[in-house]
Amino acid sequence: MNISIDREILLENLNTIARGLPVRSPMPILTGIKMYATDTDLYMTSSNSDISVEVVINDQSLVIQQPGQTVVPGKVFIDIIRKINSKKINLYLSDDKVLVIKADRGEYKLQIMDPVDYPKIDFVLHENPLVIDADVLKGVIRETVFATATSEKKPILTGVNLKNVGGKLIATATDSFRLSQKVVAIDPEYKDFNITVPNKSFDELLKAIDQYGERVTLYFGTNKLLVSFKNISFQTRLLDGNYPDTSRLIPAEFPIVLKFNKDELVEAVERVSLLSPRDKATDREITYSIIKLSIKKDRIIEISTTNAAVGDAKEELIPTSIDSANPITIGFSSRYLIEALRSFISTEVSLNLSGAIRPFIIRGDRDANLTQLILPVNME
Amino acid sequence: MNISIDREILLENLNTIARGLPVRSPMPILTGIKMYATDTDLYMTSSNSDISVEVVINDQSLVIQQPGQTVVPGKVFIDIIRKINSKKINLYLSDDKVLVIKADRGEYKLQIMDPVDYPKIDFVLHENPLVIDADVLKGVIRETVFATATSEKKPILTGVNLKNVGGKLIATATDSFRLSQKVVAIDPEYKDFNITVPNKSFDELLKAIDQYGERVTLYFGTNKLLVSFKNISFQTRLLDGNYPDTSRLIPAEFPIVLKFNKDELVEAVERVSLLSPRDKATDREITYSIIKLSIKKDRIIEISTTNAAVGDAKEELIPTSIDSANPITIGFSSRYLIEALRSFISTEVSLNLSGAIRPFIIRGDRDANLTQLILPVNME
């Protein structure tokens, strides 16, 4: 193998490849990047227990003097290409089993691994993929993935569920104490699917898609999802098991509707939560940073907390609109509310309540088909 | 106590007070900030085992309705003032032993501590202080403090030594493997001093002085140094013991002088050091990240490293000038060289060598009276 290429192109592709590179692995060869130069193209592959990534480079700066393949130590190779500031980079295998990196007056020799030891990665290409806008997919992920469970107690809840219901893609995430749901229209003829994607895979996919705004192609395999865009194939394993039915969690009626300027609400909640009791040792995540929201007289909303160890905090807010039959006090995790509010692009959001211990939901006037639900804690 | 003040003024002063606040303390009251409002001024004090800080505020926005004193929990108080975005803040003690913070529609009640339990801090004011430019003091600290020891094996080496030698302030830091020395002119009549300031105190002093560019006043006490500027008194304890005589460490003659563009040298060393062997477990800090520098034929300088586990790296550099009798290869810590080079503002720096296992020094054409010395390792 002997190739030369613009550093900028190589680095951009390596930053994508980094998404699939494990920090360590029971299979040491997976800490390497597989490089395979044909007569015309350069393939690079990385893989860990969740994700496999492949890029195909045929940039016009790429010159392949000699095809070939190798596996290079991933982290140090990427570090070197990042630090180099020459325009061109020359990579070749030398007799003594090293990859030589030449750039201006610098020369780096990396000990390589045998490409025959690199496992074969099957990418689940097939004839009937689903094509959607990259921005739609990015939105779906950003608006739901934060609500997945971090604990492995119910592994299925560490993923985002994607389901096709008659031409609507329903994305759902829940950790049992809150729920995020986004619905987007897709090709009404597309076949049924019901898959759950690990949250970490979606985090890495977001970084890989980055600024790209054109279309992406999704291939649904039996236990894999392949997302294809630009010159990139990004494949993730799926979580085993049936995703719980969450449709009955969302109340049908909301007698109390409060509308707020979103930024004002976020800032007030953030300040009050500085004093909310921290209880990280607890098993129930929801008891973390509990605050209270009350409807007071004169249509003022009070956000407050009491902390026996440090002190009390309260903020008064004037909602932009209020539709309420009765006064109510509701307690919940401030972190859940802040994370939910941050998922909206709307300037104005509504809190829709149906009772002090019934789930409440948040919607935004400019965020169609996005529902954030939070389960209150009993303040009695 | 009942005062009101512009949030911005209070926060700016709290950011200074934060420099002396311990994260935790065997004396819980020291995790608090002492506040003392006279008829006209607000004093705030923080103190930990190394540093005590006092600010006196008499800003025109300060209105003292009622003098008084208290000790407020430091971290949470600063966090709240940071998060508030109102212009004015009102602070008052209420009957039930809490400090009330009022800002717009927010109200925070913090449990306070008894100010009589707060230790009395003696600031070593006296009639004969030394006045110097803040920028000079900042330069002295920045150019030396990084070379202090991090290990507590020889505690005196964890500080920067400041000595008056006939109207010259000599600042010296060494961890036994490298040495930084800066000399600046002071009042030739000023009394002798020879003190060693803990590196952490100087780190915090740099943050406290920040952008301030006027004059600072130094008061030398027997075991304390007080630095006074703006409305701030910053006092640090001094390290016990005699600082070692380092004057004989610096060679008198340098038969080899290599001049480089500083940025080119830093970048080449950073790249090569990506492959230099890491040996963090070792006792001798200097074995960390060892690289070699060699004078090759055609006046080319080669920076290189060999790493049995990963591979080799080399970079060729063309010095801006070279004055050398013989070829030489010298090995040293790349981290030490990079940290030393970063202390210079000069575009061009000179490496002055006197032998493969003799200390070499670095100077910069625009950095008068700054000497960085590095002890090589034996590469045989």
Query: Could you tell me the pLDDT band of residue A281, with boundaries at 50, 70 and 90?
Result: very low
Cβ <8 Å between B315 and A106: yes
Q: What angle do CA B79, B83, B87 make, to 5 degrees?
A: 120
pLDDT value of residue B325: 67
Q: How many CB atoms lie within 10 A of CB B200?
A: 16
Burial string for A147-161 (b: 16+ CB within 10 Å, else e) reads bbbeeeeeeebbbbb
Report d(CA A57, CA A44) in Å as an integer: 8
- Residue B252 predicted with pLDDT over 50: yes
DSSP string, B121-139: PPP---S--EEEEHHHHHH
Interface-testing mutation among A11, A71, A83, A93, with chain B (most B C-beta atoms within 10 A): A83
Contact A83 B314 (CB under 8 A): no
- Cross-chain Cβ contact A311/B106 below 8 Å: no
Measured CA distances, B72 to B21, B58, B90 (Å): 12, 20, 14
Examine the domain organization and report whether B263 and B359 are in the same domain.
Answer: yes
Contact A80 B271 (CB under 8 A): yes
When the pLDDT of each residue in chain B is averaged and rounded to a whole number, the result is 94
A82/B201 Cα distance (integer angstroms): 35
B240 and B266 fall within a common domain: no
* Distance in angstroms (rounded) separating the CA atoms of residues B302 and B312: 13
Helix axes B262-273, A74-83, angle to 10 degrees: 170
What H or E segment, with its residue span, contains residue B68? strand B68-73
pLDDT reading at B97 higher than 90: no
**Does position A361 have pLDDT exceeding 50, yes or no?**
yes
Return the structure tokens found at B103: 């800002």
- Write down the pLDDT at residue A297: 83
Element (H, E) at B162: strand B159-165
Alpha-carbon gap, residue A68 to A116, rounded angstroms: 12
Nearest to B352 by CA among B367, B362, B343: B362
- Whether B179 is covered by a domain: the verdict is yes
Residue with tokens 């090569």: B272
- Model pLDDT, residue B308: 83
Q: To 10 degrees, the CA torsion angle through B323, B326, B331, B335?
A: 0
B241: which DSSP letter? Answer: S
Nearest CB to B270 within list A83, A108, A311: A83
Beta-carbon separation of B267 and A315 below 8 A: no
Give the closest-approach CA distance of B81 to chain A in angstroms.
9
Token look-up 């700016």 returns B12
User: Which structural domain range is residue A366 located in?
Assistant: 250-374
> What three-state secondary structure class fits A136?
helix
Give mean pLDDT, residues B194-211.
Answer: 97
Q: Does residue B209 sit in the same domain as residue B156? A: yes
Give the residue-averaged pLDDT of B130-149.
Answer: 97
Rounded mean pLDDT of B10-33?
96
Residue A123 in any domain: the answer is no
Instruction: Check if the beta carbon of residue A39 is closer than 8 Å to that of residue A67.
Output: yes
Domain at B14, CATH number = 3.10.150.10
Contact A3, A87 (CB under 8 A): no
Q: Which residue of A has its CA nearest to B275?
A: A76
Distance from CA of A255 to the nearest CA of B (A): 27
Tokens representing A343 are 């998922």
Query: Does the structure show a pLDDT above 80 at B229?
Result: yes
SS3 B228: strand
From B93, B117, B141, give the residue that closes a domain: B117
Q: Is A243 in the same domain as A292?
A: no
pLDDT, average across residues A285-303: 83
Contact in structure between A349 and A362 (CB atoms under 8 Å): yes
Question: Do B113 and B179 reside in the same domain of the chain?
Answer: no
| Pair (A82, A188) in one structural domain | no
* Chain B residues touching residue A76 (CB < 8 angstroms): 274-275, 310-311
CB contact under 8 A, A80 and B106: no
Closest residue on chain B to A317 (Cα): B105
List own/partner pairs for A243-247 with CB under 8 A and 24 or more apart: A243/A156, A243/A159, A243/A161, A243/A163, A243/A172, A243/A194, A243/A196, A244/A156, A244/A157, A244/A174, A246/A172, A246/A174, A246/A179, A246/A181
What pLDDT shows up at residue A325?
67
The predicted-structure confidence for A5-18, as pLDDT tens digits, reads as follows 999 999 999 999 99
Q: CA-CA distance, A305 to A290, in Å (whole number)?
A: 7
Q: Which residues of A touch B315 (CB under 8 A)?
A: 105-107
pLDDT digits (tens, 9 = 90+) for A42-54: 999 999 989 999 9
Confidence grade of residue B281 (pLDDT, cut at 50, 70, 90) = very low
Amino acid at B262: K
Mean pLDDT of chain A: 94
Contact across the interface for A110 and B311, Cβ inside 8 Å? yes
Residue of A nearest to B72 (CA): A310
Please check whether residue B174 lies inside any domain of the structure. Answer: yes
**Average pLDDT, stretch B168-180?**
97
Distances, alpha carbon A22 to alpha carbons A19, B116, B193, in Å: 8, 56, 56
Assess if residue A17 is contained within a domain.
yes
The answer as to whether A227 is a domain residue is yes
Structure tokens at A158: 């560490």
3-state secondary structure A169-231: EEEEEECCCEEEEEEEECCCCCCCCEEEEEHHHHHHHHHHHCCCCCEEEEEECCCEEEEEECC
Q: Are residues B107 and B220 in the same domain?
A: no
> Does residue A326 sit within a domain?
yes
Q: What is the mean pLDDT of residues B27-49?
A: 97
Question: Which stretches of chain B sit within 8 Å of chain A by CB?
Answer: 73, 76, 79-80, 83-85, 98, 105-111, 267-268, 270-272, 274-275, 309-317
* DSSP output for A342-375: HT---SEEEEEES-TTS-EEEEETTEEEEEEEE-
pLDDT for residue B284 is more than 70: no
- Kindly determine whether residue A267 and residue B108, on different chains, have CB atoms separated by under 8 Å: no
Most trustworthy range by pLDDT among B1-5, B94-98, B374-378: B1-5
C-alpha pair distances (Å), B74 with each of B28, B55, B123, B178: 11, 15, 21, 38
Please, which pLDDT band fits residue A323 given cuts at 50, 70 and 90?
confident
Closest residue of chain A to B80, computed from CA coordinates: A271
Q: Which of A312-321, A356-365, B278-287 has the lowest mean pLDDT?
A: B278-287
Same domain, B147 and B77: no
**Average of per-residue pLDDT across A258-286:** 81
* Residues of B whose CB is below 8 A from A84: 271
Domain count, chain A: 3
How many alpha carbons lie under 13 Å from residue A13 in its C-beta half-sphere? 24
Q: Is the per-residue pLDDT at A261 higher than 90?
A: yes
Residues of B in contact with A80 (CB under 8 A): 271, 274-275, 313
Q: Is A379 within the bounds of a domain?
A: no
Task: With a cut of 90, say whether residue A2 has pLDDT above it.
Answer: yes
pLDDT category at B279 given cuts 50, 70, 90 is low
Q: Which of B220, B247, B274 is the last residue of a domain?
A: B247
Residue B372, pLDDT score:
98
| Cα-based angle B101, B106, B109 (whole degrees, multiple of 5) | 40
> Dihedral sign, CA of B15, B20, B24, B25?
negative
Facing residue for A107 by CB, picked from B107, B267, B314: B314
Say if residue B205 is in the same domain as residue B264. Answer: no
Q: Hey, are the CB atoms on A311 and B83 less than 8 Å from each other?
A: no
| pLDDT digit string, tens, across residues B301-359 | 999 999 888 899 999 999 999 988 678 999 999 999 999 999 999 999 999 999 888 99
The tens digit of pLDDT for each residue in A126-172 reads: 889 999 999 999 999 999 999 999 998 999 999 999 999 999 999 99
Residue B49 covered by a domain: yes
pLDDT digits (tens, 9 = 90+) for A180-203: 999 999 999 999 999 999 999 999
Closest CA to A369 of A111, A162, A171: A171
Same domain, residue pair A151 and A171: yes
Instruction: Write down the residue that tokens 């098991």 correspond to.
Output: A241
B239 & B254 share domain: no
Q: Which of B78, B102, B105, B273 to mutate to test the interface with A (most CBs of A within 10 A)?
A: B105
Among B304, B303, B305, B320, which Cα is nearest to B258's?
A: B320
Which positions ≥6 away from A16 have C-beta within 8 Å? A53, A55, A208, A232
Closest Cα in chain A, distance from residue B352 (Å): 23
A237-251, B25-39, B69-83, B286-300: range with lowest mean pLDDT: B286-300
CATH number of residue A279's parent domain: 3.70.10.10
The C-alpha angle with vertex A157 and arms to A167 and A305, in degrees rounded to 5, equals 110
Q: Between A281 and B166, whose confidence is greater?
A: B166
Tokens representing A79? 């570090």
* Nearest CA-CA distance, residue B105 and chain A, Å: 5
Q: What is the pLDDT of residue A31?
A: 97
The CA dihedral of B163, B164, B165, B166, to the nearest 10 degrees, is 180
Contact B311 A84 (CB under 8 A): no
- Cα Rg of chain B, angstroms: 25
Residue A279: per-residue pLDDT: 57
Say if the Cβ atoms of B79 and A106 lie within 8 Å.
Answer: no
Q: How far away is chain B from the Cα of A195, in angstroms, using its nearest Cα? A: 41
The closest alpha carbon to A201, from A166, A233, A236, belongs to A236
Q: In what order do the strands lie in the sheet with B68-73?
A: B68-73, B32-37, B42-47, B51-57, B232-237, B224-229, B215-220, B130-133
- How confident is the model over A205-212, as a mean pLDDT? 95
The CA distance from A183 to the nearest CA of chain B, in Å, is 35
Are B163 and B169 in contact by the 8 Å Cβ rule? The answer is yes
Residues 6+ apart with CB under 8 A from B1: B35, B37, B66, B67, B68, B69, B70, B91, B92, B93
The number of beta carbons lying within 10 Å of the beta carbon of residue A291 is 25
**DSSP bridge pairs for B329:** B294
The tens digit of pLDDT for each residue in A92-129 reads 999 768 999 999 999 999 999 999 999 999 998 888 99
User: Mean pLDDT throughout B24-42?
Assistant: 96
User: Which pLDDT band holds residue A313 (cuts at 50, 70, 90)?
Assistant: very high
Which chain A residue is nearest to residue B266, measuring alpha carbons?
Answer: A83
Task: Say if the Cβ atoms of B274 and A317 lie within 8 Å.
Answer: no
pLDDT of residue B299: 87
Q: Show which of B226, B247, B268 is a domain's final residue.
A: B247
Flag whether pLDDT at A288 surpasses 70.
no
Q: Are residues B161 and B197 in the same domain?
A: yes
**CA distance linking residue B372 with residue B223, whole number of Å:** 28
Name the residue among A160, A163, A138, A162 with its Cα closest to residue A149: A160
Residue B286 scores a pLDDT above 70 = no
The ipTM assigned to this model is 0.88
Tell me, what's the pLDDT at A326?
77
Direct distance between the N- and C-terminal alpha carbons of chain A, in angstroms, rounded to an integer? 71
Q: Is the pLDDT of residue B236 over 50?
A: yes
Give the Å distances, CA to CA, from B46 to A49, A139, A171, B21: 50, 47, 51, 5
Residues 6+ apart with CB under 8 A from B281: none
pLDDT at B376: 94
Separation of alpha carbons B246 and A135, rounded Å: 63
Q: What is the mean pLDDT of residues A343-348?
A: 97
